[in-house]
Amino acid sequence: MSTTGVPEGPPFVTGAQIGDSGTGLHLAIGLLAALHQRDRTGKGQYVEVAMMDGVMNLCRVKFRDHQRLTRQSLSEYSVPTKQGMDAVPRAGNDSGGGQLGNAIHCKPHGPNDWLYVVVQEAVWEGLANRIGPDLGTPGLAADPRFAKIADRRKNQNDMWALITKFAAQHTSASSWRS
């Protein structure tokens, strides 16, 4: 929980009970691997899964970010980070793991009208070409504030504002494809 929640606020628990369901998923994977091994070799296996191991795997992005902080700041976070920080900061809906991600409110703007958008390098041009014309900025993909991932990280608040402005016109179920 130390990495969840909003800056300067309390931590948030996960909506899903990742310890329970994550452990079950890891057990199912282990059982399938054991059955496959049995079919290949004729030998059975004992499968055991610890809840903490399942949770640790599901938290791997935050663990990786903690390791990254020993060498650098985390430019995908909207809150300040610096090399040598003791812990990954609470950063609201920031994605972490090197990717820009955020929750975007959609039409009709109710409490559950949200999308989680991750803007990876491979999708920026298509996304910008789709939303730019609707926002009156058909050249958005080439805009120097956003053209490269480093620029988008530096100007992410402006990028999220544009994506949010576009989303305000669309429901989460409507097609964002051109």
Which residues, other chains included, contact 18 with Cβ-Cβ below 8 Å and sequence gap of 6+? 54, 55, 58
Q: Among the residues of the chain, which ranges form H helices? A: 18-41, 51-58, 60-68, 121-131, 149-154, 156-167
Mean pLDDT of 154-171: 95
Mean pLDDT of 98-125: 92
Read off the pLDDT of residues 15-64 as tens digits, 9 standing for 90 and up.
778 889 999 999 999 999 999 999 999 999 999 999 999 888 888 888 89
- SS3 label, residue 137: coil
* 95 phi and psi angles, rounded to 5 deg: -75, -45
pLDDT-derived band at 178, boundaries 50, 70, 90: low
- Give the burial string for 128-160 (b: 16+ CB within 10 Å, else e): bebbbeeeeeeebbebeebbebeebbebbeebb
* 10 phi and psi angles, rounded to 5 deg: -75, 160
Q: Rounded distance, CA 164 to CA 106, Å? A: 8
pLDDT-derived band at 172, boundaries 50, 70, 90: confident
Cα dihedral sign, 48-57-7-163 = negative
Residues classed as catalytic: 20
Q: Judge contact between 62 and 98, C-beta under 8 A.
A: no
∠ CA 104-106-110, rounded to 5°: 110
* pLDDT for the residue numbered 133: 96
Instruction: Read off the pTM.
Output: 0.74
> Is pLDDT at 171 greater than 60 in this prediction?
yes
Helix and strand counts by DSSP (H, E) for the chain: 6, 2
